[in-house]
Amino acid sequence: MSGPPTAVAAVRHAVRGALDGLEPGALVLVACSGGADSLALAGATAFAAPRMGLRAGGITVDHGLQDGSAEHAAEVAATMRTLGLDPAETASVRVGAEGGPEGAARAARYTALEQSARRLGAEAVLLGHTRDDQAETVLLRLARGSGGRSLAGMPARSGRYLRPLLHLPRSLVHTSCTDMGLVPWADPHNADPAYARSRVRQEALPVLEQTLGPGITEALSRTADLLRDDAEALEAWAREAEERVRDPAGGLDAAALAELPRAVRTRLLRHAAIAAGAPAGALGAVHVAELDRLVADWRGQAHVDLPGGLRGRREEGSITFRAETGSRNAEVPGGGHGDRHTGPAARTAR
C-alpha cells in the first residue's frame, strides 16, 4: 500500500512534530485564512491530531477589509468542518489604524485568536507561516534597522502559538495543498504592491535570487535561527542580571547597569519598561536607546518619555519608571544632552 504524496507526508510530519508532547484530549486550533499555506496546515492537522489523541478545531478571522469578507470567512469555516475540524468558527474583528494597515490587521487578528483560544480552552494555536515567510520577515526587519532580537524572526513556538511549517518551503506546502485536493483562496492583498511584504515577496526576493544566486530564502531563514539562539541567551542573561541591579527602593542601580554589556543592559531596560506599563508593541529601539543614555551617557537629562504615558528617570543614581500625566505618548528626547522636552520618535512594526 503506497503512502501519501511526498509533500503531504512532509507537512503531516511537521505537524506531528509540533504537537508532540501535548496531553491527550487537548484541543488545538488551526488559524486558517483559506490560503494555500493555512489550508494545507488545516488538512494535515485534521489528519494528524486525532491519531495523536488530540482534538482539532479551526478559527478563521474576518478582518472586514474586503467586499464579501464575511461570506468568504463562512466558506473557510465550512471547508474546515468538511476536513473534520471541530469546532470550526469565524471571528470578526475591527481593524484600527495604529501601526499601519499590515500591523493593525495583525494586531486585530492575534487578539481574536487569543480570545477564541481562551474561550474554547485550546492548548495550542497553529499558524501557517513557512520558511519563505520567515525570510520575508527577516528582510523587512533588516530594512528597518532592527536589532538581533527582531532579526531572529518568528519562533517556531511562542506560548500557545506553534508554527509547524516554519522550516518548509512555500512551494512544498502549496504542493501539499493541491495533493490533498484542497482549493485555496488567493488573497489579493498578497499581490498588492501597497503592502511592504508583498513588495518583498514579488520584487525584492526575486531580485536577490537573480543577483546573488539561489538559496537566499534558506540563508535568511538560517540566519534567523542563529540569531534566535544568540537573542535567547542574551535575554536569559538580562533577566538574571535584573535581580542583581535592583536597588532597595525598587529602581535599577545605574552604576551596576553601566558595568553590563550594552546588549544585556538594553534588554534589561526594555524588560523593566514593559513591566512598568509600557506597551511592548509600541516600545521601539529608539526609546530603549534613550533609556540607555540615562545610564551610559548621562549629562543631566531630566527624563525619557515612553509609550503608555510612562517616564523613565535617573534619580539619585537609580533608573525608575513612573506614570506621568504630562508625559507625551511614544516620544523620546530628540535634541542634545540635557533635554527636558521631547521630539518625535520612530515607530517600529512587528
Q: Is residue 228 part of a domain?
A: no
The alpha-helical segments, DSSP class H, found in the chain are 6-19, 36-51, 69-83, 100-120, 131-143, 148-151, 170-179, 196-199, 205-212, 216-245, 254-258, 262-276, 285-296
Same domain? For 11 and 131 the reply is yes
152 and 228 Cβ atoms separated by less than 8 Å: yes
Predicted local distance difference test score (pLDDT) of residue 84: 97
pLDDT tens per residue, range 157-169? 999 999 999 999 9
CA distance 196 to 200: 6
Overall average pLDDT of the 133-152 stretch: 82
Q: Give binding residues for ATP as ranges.
A: 33-38
Nearest-CA neighbor of 114 among 36, 38, 46, 29? 29
Domains in the chain, number: 2
Task: Indicate the pLDDT class of residue 330, thresholds 50, 70 and 90.
Answer: very low
Give the CATH number of the domain where residue 130 resides.
Answer: 3.40.50.620
| Residue 113 Cα distances to 96, 120, 122, angstroms | 16, 10, 10
Give the mean pLDDT of the chain. 87
DSSP string, 48-79: HHHHTT-EEEEEEEE---STTHHHHHHHHHHH
Predicted local distance difference test score (pLDDT) of residue 129: 97
Residue 348 has pLDDT above 60, yes or no: no
Predicted local distance difference test score (pLDDT) of residue 200: 92
Same domain? For 122 and 24 the reply is yes
Task: Please name the amino acid found at residue 324.
Answer: E
Predicted local distance difference test score (pLDDT) of residue 325: 62
Residue 132 has pLDDT above 70, yes or no: yes
Same domain? For 274 and 209 the reply is no
Kindly state the DSSP code that residue 343 receives in the 8-state scheme: E
Same domain? For 140 and 258 the reply is no
Give the CATH number of the domain where residue 294 resides.
Answer: 3.30.465
Predicted local distance difference test score (pLDDT) of residue 136: 93
Task: Indicate the pLDDT class of residue 101, thresholds 50, 70 and 90.
Answer: low
Q: Is residue 349 part of a domain?
A: no
Q: Is residue 237 part of a domain?
A: no
Grid cell, residue 308, equals 503608555
Lowest pLDDT segment from 43-47, 85-89, 214-218: 214-218
3-class DSSP state of 136:
helix
Same domain? For 190 and 338 the reply is no
Lowest pLDDT segment from 14-28, 144-158, 197-211, 334-348: 334-348
Question: Which burial class, exposed, middle or buried, applies to 28 when counting CB atoms under 10 A from its CB (0-12, 13-18, 19+)?
Answer: buried
Q: Is residue 224 part of a domain?
A: no
Same domain? For 187 and 258 the reply is no
Residue 196 has pLDDT above 80, yes or no: yes
Peptide bond into 188 cis (omega under 30): no
Predicted local distance difference test score (pLDDT) of residue 142: 84
Same domain? For 263 and 154 the reply is no
Overall average pLDDT of the 172-192 stretch: 89
Q: Is residue 241 part of a domain?
A: no
Residue 1 has pLDDT above 80, yes or no: no
3-class DSSP state of 92:
strand
Q: Is residue 324 part of a domain?
A: yes
Boundary-marking domain end, from 219, 254, 289? 219
Residue 334 has pLDDT above 50, yes or no: no
Q: What percent of the chain lies above the pLDDT cut of 70?
A: 90
Top mean pLDDT of 43-57, 61-75, 151-165, 177-191 is at 43-57
3-class DSSP state of 26:
coil
Grid cell, residue 218, equals 534558506
Same domain? For 79 and 196 the reply is yes
Same domain? For 24 and 164 the reply is yes
pLDDT tens per residue, range 10-32? 999 999 999 999 999 999 999 99
Q: Is residue 1 part of a domain?
A: no
Same domain? For 88 and 143 the reply is yes
Q: Is residue 319 part of a domain?
A: yes
Kindly state the DSSP code that residue 47 receives in the 8-state scheme: H
Higher pLDDT, 230 or 127: 127
Task: Indicate the pLDDT class of residue 123, thresholds 50, 70 and 90.
Answer: very high
Same domain? For 255 and 293 the reply is yes
Expressed as residue numbers, the domain containing 275 is: 246-344
Same domain? For 333 and 283 the reply is yes
